[in-house]
Amino acid sequence: MPPTRLLPPSSFLRRALLLLSGVLGAVPVGVAGAGAEFPSLPTFSGPTVAGDLAAPPKNEASGLAASRRTPGLLWVHDDSGGEAALYAVDTNGRFRGLLQIGAGVKNDDWEDLAAAEIDRQAWLVIGDIGDNDAKRREFRVHFVPEPAADRLAVAGMLAERPAATLRIRFEDGPRDCESLAVDSTEGALYLLSKRDAVPRLYRVALPRPLAHAELTARWVGDVSHLAPPGSGKRSSRGQSARRAAWPCAMDFAADGTAAVVLTYTEVLIFPRRQGETWGTALGREPLRLPPHRLSQAEAVCFSPDGRQIFVASENSRSLLRYDRK
């Protein structure tokens, strides 16, 4: 397979971290969130409605990823029971094409989507990871080569089979999970559990080169700061505080300097220092963006340059956008 032409990630977050490198060692962890520890990191405005999603047809957007090949292109998929397909939309939600996933792949419970560059190839990473009743002995993650936009423009509909399907089990037994992200530099896949009292972060080392494999997700740490400090038993939307803080999507910035985690009420950014593990970064208080106020928000992603964050919902056509100030 020839190498694809990929979009370079922005390093705005990395530059901010480097500016702080001489003083961070003397700054204690702040109880008000990561902003106390990383005071000069960029902030985001929003959310604003970027447009209405023209796809997927079931109106249950459960995964969202920004193309690594085509500027201004997003990929989205349906929740469980939807078509085994990825839908290309622009950043205003307008339909741009359909990618059917072949080789007998089914949408058992697709819950998250990532875009990544590995071995000079752009990949779309489909997480068939949902398990509401914690009964699945293993789940699947599909790596599909991302097609070029000009192929979509000509054909409108394409078909592609996964180049690699990973069959994964959690080392400590089945659990529900809706959050997946890929660290291309590290060559690892990360998963964040949903319904545990304290969400658990797991790591899966990817086979190199990518190939079909059976793997184990290893626990690397707990993510204990998703609920707002001092939150009560009920959230502002009438949900239990615990349910409101369930993680339902995750993404890593392309340059590896931050993670974004979506809950049913908030968008949370976890900055990461150079050389720091994701377990450490996700273990501290996050930066909290203004609430998205969507019902059943379940999809989030950074733009490739890290200057925008997009959010989509299972119960709304609205595509939301946060912009770097």
Q: Say how far residue 269 (Cα) sits from the centre of its chain.
A: 12
Pick from 62, 66, 69, 91: which is nearest to 152 by CA? 69
Structure tokens at 77: 């998929």
Omega within 30 of 0 (cis) for the link into 291: no
Say what percent of the chain tops pLDDT 70: 83
pLDDT at 237: 52
Residue 178 pLDDT more than 80? yes
For tokens 């249950």, name the residue: 60
pTM of the model: 0.87
CB-based burial, 91-121: b 16+ in 10 Å, e otherwise: bebeebbbbebeeebebbbbbbbbbbbbeeb
More confidently predicted of 187 and 149: 187
**What does the pLDDT average to over 261-277?**
96
Q: Is 188 exposed, middle or buried (0-12, 13-18, 19+ CB in 10 A)?
A: middle
In three-state form (DSSP H/G/I as H, E/B as E, the rest C), the secondary structure along the chain is CCCCCCCCCCCHHHHHHHHHCCCHHHCCCCCCCHHHCCCCCCCEEEEEEEEECCCCCCCCEEEEEECCCCCCEEEEEECCCCCCEEEEEECCCCEEEEEEECCCCCCCCEEEEEEEEECCEEEEEEEECCCCCCCCCCEEEEEEECCCHHHHHHHCEEEECCCEEEEEEECCCCCCEEEEEEECCCCEEEEEECCCCCCEEEEEECCCCCCCEEEEEEEEEECCCCCCCCCCCECCCCCEHHHHCCEEEEEECCCCCEEEEEECCCEEEEECCCCCCHHHHCCCCCEECCCCCCCCEEEEEECCCCCEEEEEECCCCEEEEEEEC
The rounded distance, in Å, linking the Cα atoms of 182 and 37 is 25
Q: Could you please state the CATH topology (level 3) that the domain comprising 12-21+31-324 is classified under.
A: Neuraminidase (2.120.10)
Q: pLDDT tens digit string along 211-237?
A: 999 999 999 999 999 998 766 555 555
Residue 69 is which amino acid?
A: R
Instruction: Name which of 18-32, 134-148, 268-282 the model is least confident about.
Output: 18-32
Strand partners, 57: none
**What does the pLDDT average to over 190-197?**
96
| Confidence band for 24, pLDDT divided at 50, 70 and 90 | very low
Alpha-carbon Rg of the chain, whole angstroms? Answer: 18
Q: pLDDT tens digit string along 43-81?
A: 899 999 999 999 877 778 999 999 999 999 999 999 888
The rounded distance, in Å, linking the Cα atoms of 91 and 73 is 6
Structure tokens at 199: 């969400």
pLDDT at 218: 99
pLDDT at 231: 63
The rounded distance, in Å, linking the Cα atoms of 93 and 198 is 34
Residue 3 pLDDT more than 90? no
The rounded distance, in Å, linking the Cα atoms of 46 and 323 is 6
15 Cβ neighbours under 8 A, 6+ residues apart: none
